[in-house]
Amino acid sequence: MMPGSLELELRGQHLVLLPERAAYWREQEMLLIADMHCGKAATFRARPPCQHN
């Protein structure tokens, strides 16, 4: 287990909660990512400012 992580067992399923705002679901070999913002800042910078009349 990684430092700062927390391992849980829920209904026979094992989840490792990671400090990077993700969880690893062992039985499914799946990484779940929370609150992902891929390119959000770049998208907002690319928009022209709103014009108010």
Q: Please, are residues 5 and 17 in contact by the beta-carbon 8 Å criterion?
A: yes
Model confidence at 49, pLDDT cuts 50, 70, 90, reads low
10 Å CB burial of residue 17 (0-12, 13-18, 19+) is middle
**How far apart are the C-alpha atoms of 16 and 25, rounded to whole Å?**
7
**Among 13-22, 30-39, 42-51, the range of highest mean pLDDT:** 13-22
pLDDT at 35 (0 to 100): 76
Percentage above 70 pLDDT, the chain:
66
pLDDT higher than 70, residue 44: no
Look up the pTM and report it.
Answer: 0.63
